[in-house]
Structure formats: C-alpha cells, structure tokens
Structure 1
Amino acid sequence: MTEEQDQGKTQKDIQGKKPKKNRPIGRIIATALLAGLLGGGVAVGAGYIYTQTTDFIGKSTGALSDGKTTIKAPTISGKSNATKVYNNLKGAVVSVINQQATSSSSTIYGDSSKKSSSSTSSFSTLQTASEGSGVIYKDADGYAYIVTNYHVISGAKRIQVVLYGGTKVVAKKVGSDAMTDLAVLRISGSDVKTVAQFGNSNQIKTGQTVLAIGSPLGTDYASSVTEGIISASKRLVSNTSESGKTNYGDSIAIQTDAAINPGNSGGPLVNTSGQVIGINSQKLTETDEGESVEGMGFAIPSNTVVSIINKLIKYGKVVRPALGVEVVDLSEVSSDVVKKTLKLPSKVKTGIVIAGFSSDKSPAKKAGIKKYDVIVAVNGEKVSNLADMRDIIYKLKVGDTVKITYYRASTEKTVKVKMTETLKQ
C-alpha cells in the first residue's frame, strides 16, 4: 500500500524503467538487476528481494533467532481459528505514524497575507504525512523492536507508534532498506506485553487460510483483521518505484486475497498457527489496461524479512554485492535487434543484455565486459533473466569473485569479476 509519500531518490548500481517487449535496444532504458520497491501506477506499496532461510532455527517452528534468544509467541491451545489467532497477536500489532515538517509563516498581527514581509517570520511544525502498520517481533534489554515498511517511514522527521490500547510513543529508526521496503524501529519495552513469532514462508501452501492485521486508513481503524487465503505462495512481480523513476527488476512475493488497504502497509500476514509469514506491502488495484482488480494483495515473505531485519539491527543498512551493470532481459529485445545488433547464435534464447554501466569504476567494465554483451551464466549457473541473476548474486558477498559466461556476438567468453558494494541508498 502506498502512503502519499514518494519513496525518495536513491542511488543504485542499476537504475531505470523496465522496457516493453520488442523495443529497439537503442531505445531501451536499463532495467534494474537489483530487486526492490513494488508499485508504480497500478500497484500500491513496495516489495521484496530474495529468500534466505539461514536466519531460522528448527524445522518445526522456524522461530527467529537473534543470536542470543529465540523469540516465541504465546502458544495457541486447541484448534486454531481466526479469533484465537487475532487475540494472541493483537497486542504485537501497532500503528506507525510518519510525521514531517510543514513550513508556515505568520506575523505579529497574526495574518501574513495582510502585512509586509518585514514583520513576517517562518516556522516549522510536524504534521502527520501518512500512517501505516508494524509488528513487534523482539523485546530485549529494555527495548521492543518493530518491523514495518520502508515506505511507511520514508521522509519522516519523527515517527510515532501507537500500541494496542492507544498508548502513543516516539520510535527511533534502527535501520531501513528501500530495496526490500523494510525498516526496523525501536521503542521502550516497558509497555510491551506481546511479541510476534515468524513462521517459515518456504513452508506455506497455496489455499491455506491467512489473516491480515493492521490499521487500514490509519489509527481510526487500528487493530482491524481480515481473512483470506494464500492465492499464490510465490508470485513474480515487477518492482518499480511509485514515481516511476526507478525499476529494480522482478521479485517474488506472497499473493493473498485477504483485504489489504492503505494503512495496512507494514502489518503482518499471519497463518492459522499465529505465526507471521509475511509483511503486507502492496495491493494491485488496476491493470495497465485500466481494468479494475479486486483481492490481489502482496506480502514480503517472512524468510526475507528475517534476513533483512537481522542485518538492519547489526549494521543499520543492507550491504549487497554488485557487478555495476545496467541490464535488460534478452526476452525484452526484439528479434530484429537480436539478429542485427547483438548478432547472437540461434541457440542463445535467454540471458541478460548489458545496456550500460553504473560508472567507469564498474567491476564488470573493468574486467572487460562491454555494452551489448549477453550474460548467460554466473559461476556455472544458468542465467535466463534478471531474477536468476539477482538470486545468484545475492547469495554471494562483497569482495567475492564470480565467473561470468557471456556472448559477444557469436563468440562465447568467460571472465572473472570481483564484486564491490552497491552504491549507498
């Protein structure tokens, strides 16, 4: 879901708007290799990057470990139902208020429009710019930690959290990541009585019942719950910022028909055992053709959430490896361009085309890769599209050396590239 806020300008190694199919390569604007924000026109909100399970312990519960303790929610006794699940978790779900500065002017006469500017002074006040949701997932050392969406708190000068029951407190941002649309907040743990437990999103099944809890349309409707099913456990979605200025490639999200509305951003998607399996982040409202859409919401999978929030607490940001290239799926390029410009052999049907570089210091450029080269494999793993490339790269670390297999016209080549850190957001 979106609040009215633009996610803000970010710098990444790969930027641009995803091109339509069969456009001449000279007109193609580079598509992002890195996954990130969902939205842009028809979609509301932001989304997810990749899945890791290394931050989970135990096959039965998939409970989150912070390295010291295992976070557990109260056990639900007997047969699970929506009421029991909700009553167990309602205390862990909060409203998140984004307050931003608003400049005003006044005079000693109280009406600046009627007096000269010489008697006018300017001042700033904080006003609510948007509202969203969040979920408390950790209570340790006197602090409670909340996960929410990046777009919920983007641009905030002050962040307020409204606990279940109405207590309002000021939150500190621990860290945020625009690319996964996730952020971690910290508040005093003195008034917190319930924390949520994360489930393993790799174990979810299409058709299973889920609940969405949050504050649709803001605090007036705080602690609302809706019920639905998982419509698709893994849905590939396009990640374009709401401003349309930045595209980060495709990524996987959980699709649900549980009602998700503006204000539900950052709230939990919960299974019938009371575990958080996703963080609600967007809703599809209409197609590119203008057709209205109902019951298509998306959530960031919990495995991704856990991996990212652990990094945000430790580092305050997420450090990712990068090749420093601007790319587009070969499938997006017209057959005429493939034949005349790329001059690929007929057997090459998939891959990603180098459309440019992030800078002259790009690791890939320094290694000898050129514009219009087509990458078909990384470290021996086949690369058919941007999603494949992203999944392979994000399993690696900054400083790792990768073997890139690519075609330059009809000739297959290989080169080793040492990856650097992505540009700061």
Structure 2
Amino acid sequence: MHESRSGRGAGTAGGCVVVAALVVAAAFALVSVLLGRPIPGLQQQGDTVAAPQSTAEAPRSTKPSGRRPGVVNIFTEQGLRNSGAAGTGIVIDPSGLVLTNNHVIQGATEIRGTNTDNRRTYRAEVLGYQKAGDIALIRLTGAAGLKPAVFDTSGDTRRGDVVTAVGNAGGKGGNPEVVTGTITALDREITATDQSDGSSERLSGLIETNAPIKPGDSGGPLLNTKGRVIGMNTAASANYSMKLEGGSRGYAITSRQAMAIVRQIQRGDTSNGVHIGRTALLGVQVRTPTTESGGQGNGAFITGLIPGTPAERDGLRRSTTIVALDDEPVDSPGGLTDLLLQHQPGDTVRVIWMDRAGNRFATPVTLGNGPPQ
C-alpha cells in the first residue's frame, strides 16, 4: 500500500515530485521486512546538539542561515506503477547515511541520490523506515567522506524564529532551492491520508512555518539561523494528502523526533512501527469492499494481481476479498499492509479470502521482495 507525504515535489501541493505518474486507484499490498543485519553507527558530528539558550539571553539573529549543509537530491523509480518521484534527503553521516521522509522512498524499486556538495550520484538502499511517522533512513552506496548536516535536537525553537527551508523543489535537481520564513506555531498536528489505500496517519509535534515549502522539498532540512537542522520538511504529494490546520502552511518533523527514529533503526529495534531492511511483497491491488463487490466494508477487495508476483503465482484471484492473514483478521486495505509488514520476503503466509458468494478459501503464499511502504 502506498502512502505519500512530502515537502516540495512536482505535480501536486507539497511533497514528492511525481514524474510521468500513472494513476492507480487500487493500492499495492507490499510489505516491509526485517533483515537482522547490523547498521553502522552514526558519527557524533552528524548529530550535534545546540546548547539551549536561556530567556535572559539577547534576542536571536533575525538573519537566515547562509549554510546549506549535506543536502541530497533524491530520485526514485516506481516500477510497479510505471512512474517516478523526487524529493530531498539530509546527510547525517560521512559514510552516506541519509535521512528523508518515508513517502519520498515509498514504493521505490530504485533510488538514486545526488549529493549537492560533491555533485556525485549514488544508488541508495533503504535501511529502515517508520510509515506512521513518515521517517526513513537510506544509505548512498559507495559514498565516503561526505559532509554531514549538523542537527539541533534540543527543541530550543520558538514561534517567530527565522528559518530557512532547503530542498529539491519541483524535482529539478541541481542546486537546492532555498526559501526563508518564520516559525508560526509549534507542536502542530496534521492528518495525512494515503489516497492509494485510504489509510490515514496522524503526524504530531510538527513545526509550522510560513516558508513556502513546495513539492520536492520533502525530506529536506529546516534550518535555524545557526545553520543547524531543527526539522525535516514534509507536506503533501501525489498520492498523499494532508488536512491542514490553519490554512496553507509548511510543516516539518522535529529533528528530535526524526533522530530518535534514526537511532532506533540503527539499533535494529522494530518497535513503534519501525521496519528494518527489505520489504516483503504480496502483489495485489486492493480497495475497500463494497456491497456490490460482495463485501460489507471489511477486508481488502482484490481489483488486480501484479504480473509475476507471489499473488498471481500462488493462485489468488481478482474480484475476491482478503479477510484474514494467518488467522489475523484483515479489516481494510491498510490493515492488510500492516499485517504484511510483520513478515519478511521468503515467509509463507496463509491468505484467507472470500468469493462473491461468501465461500471462504485458504491459500498459502510465499512472499517476495518488494519496495518500501
């Protein structure tokens, strides 16, 4: 299933940029997998914490930061959708570890990242992600000696502070676009809806800014006047819409939130909805069942099978409804994704499905390798 979120993309309001998008109403039931392999530790210079300022200190500078640290232009191919997308990432370690939004790499069958400091382009692999928090960690393969951004995870930000947003606006590549503004609110909440499967996530604790964040900026840094990263830009994208509170604003996940998930991925900790390593694939296009399709709103109605995937190979059928996975009820397309995310490629799962007449069947399916969710 796909969920989209973002900062500056090309195509829709805020977020990943979608190139040659193929509109698919049904979602892909793909899944995330746990590899259990160690992830190299992050170097401390990539996570410097600024010392909190007391209220007795002199007013902060009102000039925007001139630094443009460790920005990566990210481009993805989404082979199962015959489309592509673009976003931004932040270098957090000289070895090529990059923080970005999950929706930037969601559904990607290939990821490339261009480091804007050395102008080199690398293939990238996904190390882990948290779908609900819209946070992902990727590695630029073969990268070394990159200049990491400096993060301020102190939470020492206030309404009215001047900020700078940097990103791959419009998915153009090249030099990142830079825009400035102020923090208009803290601890904001938004509802993010994945239009492909109808699932929703509540993002909370966000920084709100009037800096004009655009599609493609997703995953890029929000900087304070010291040039330190206080947040990661996020907004809407092609398949992901956001119900904003307070009008058209830009939003950023705080550095504290993002780096906490990075550390969790680093430890291989899969709690709190964090998924590490590869993603398992079932290979069905699904939507919410209707009375006409023989359902009552529960389950995941199969509208199509992706050619060459386990679902087709092992005998699942179109126009039927998946109602359980390994005896765990499937209440919705999003629920199917959540259950699949508990498995790895190569796992065999028991798919319980129902035809229009209400007859139930059980089919064992061995999951394949798929894109991140």
TM range (shorter): 0.5 to 0.7
Write the letter of the residue equivalent to 1:215: N
Matching residue of 1:156: 108
2:183 matched residue in structure 1 = 230
User: Structure 2: which amino acid aligns with 1:149?
Assistant: N
Q: Which has the higher helix share?
A: 1
Q: Give distance in 2, aligned partners of 1:45 and 1:218.
A: 10
Determine if the alignment matches structure 1 residue 94 to structure 2 residue 72: yes
Look up the equivalent residue of 2:101 and give its one-letter code. Answer: N
Distance 1:359 1:255, change over 3 A: farther
Tell me the distance in 1 between the aligned counterparts of 2:271 and 2:242: 32
Q: Where do 5+ consecutive residues of structure 2 fail to align?
A: 17-40, 51-59, 275-324, 330-371
- Secondary structure, in 3 states, of the residue corresponding to 2:258? helix
TM-score (norm 1): 0.48
2:260 aligned counterpart, secondary structure: helix
Aligned counterpart in structure 2 of residue 271 of structure 1, from 221, 224, 230 = 224
* Partner SS for 1:312: helix
Separation in 2, partners of 1:81, 1:169: 36
CA drift at 1:163: 1.2
Size of the aligned set, in residue pairs, is: 240
Which residue does 1:346 correspond to in 2?
Answer: none
State yes or no: 1:194 paired with 2:147: yes
Change in Cα spacing, 1:99 to 1:360, as seen in structure 2 (3 Å) is: closer
Which residue identity lines up with residue 71 of structure 2 in the other structure? V
Deviations 1:136-193 (A, max 9, x none): 0112xxx221000111111111110011153211011111111111111112564544
Q: 1:297 aligns to what?
A: 250
Instruction: Note the aligned Cα RMSD (angstroms).
Output: 4.1
Alignment map for 1:34-183 (pairs within 5 Å): 44=14, 69-71=44-46, 85-87=65-67, 89-90=68-69, 92-101=70-79, 129-139=84-94, 143-164=95-116, 165-183=118-136
* Distance (Å, rounded) in 1 between the aligned partners of 2:133 and 2:13: 15
Q: Hey, what does 1:260 align to over in structure 2?
A: 213
Tell me if structure 2 keeps the 8 A contact 1:86–1:225. Answer: no
Q: Residues 327-381 of structure 1: CA distance to partner in whole angstroms, max 9, x if unpaired?
A: xxxxxxxxxxxxxxxxxxxxxxxxxxxxxxx99989xxxxxxxxxxxxxxxxxxx
Does 1:206 find its partner at 2:159?
yes
Given candidates 247, 251, 256, the residue that maps to 2:204 is: 251
User: 1:7 aligns to what?
Assistant: 3
Q: How big is the shift at 1:319? A: 3.7
Q: Which whole-Å CA distance do the structure 1 matches of 2:135 and 2:99 have between them? A: 7
In the aligned structure 1, how far is the partner of 2:182 from the partner of 2:233?
14
Deviation by residue 1:201-260 (Cα, 9 ceiling, x = unmatched): 522100000000011001346411100000102112224334471123462211001111
Paired residues of 1:237 and 1:252 also in contact (CA < 8 A):
no
Partner of 1:343: none
Structure 2 length-normalised TM: 0.54
Write the distance in 2 (CA, Å) between the matches of 1:248 and 1:45.
16
| Higher RCO, 1 vs 2 (CA within 8 Å, ≥6 residues apart) | 2
Contact map agreement 1:216 1:222 (CA 8 A) in 2: no
Measured in 1, the distance between the counterparts of 2:146 and 2:61 equals 21
Change (3 A) 1:222 1:305: same
Change in CA separation of 1:43 and 1:178 when aligned onto 2, cut-off 3 Å: farther
> CA shift at 1:198, angstroms?
1.3
DSSP-derived class of the 1:198 partner: coil
Determine if contact 1:176/1:317 at 8 Å carries over to the other structure: no
The amino acid across from 2:150 in the alignment is: Q
Aligned partner letter, 1:71: G
**What are structure 1's unaligned runs of at least 5 residues?**
9-36, 47-65, 104-126, 322-357, 363-423
| Equivalent residue number for residue 281 of structure 1 | 234
Amino acid across the alignment from 1:181 = D
Larger Rg: 1
Q: Could you give the per-residue CA deviations for residues 255-303 of structure 1, whole angstroms, max 9, x where no partner exists? A: 001111010000011111111111101159x9989xx954x01111111
Please give the alpha-carbon distance, in whole angstroms, between the structure 2 residues aligned to 1:153 and 1:301: 19
Rounded to whole Å, the distance in 1 between the matches of 2:15 and 2:75 is 16
Q: Structure 1 residues 265-274 or 158-167, which shifts more?
A: 158-167
Q: Against the structure 1 CA distance between its residues 93 and 308, is the aligned structure 2 distance closer, same or farther, given a 3 Å change threshold?
A: same
Give the percent of matched residue pairs that are identical in Structure 1 and Structure 2: 27
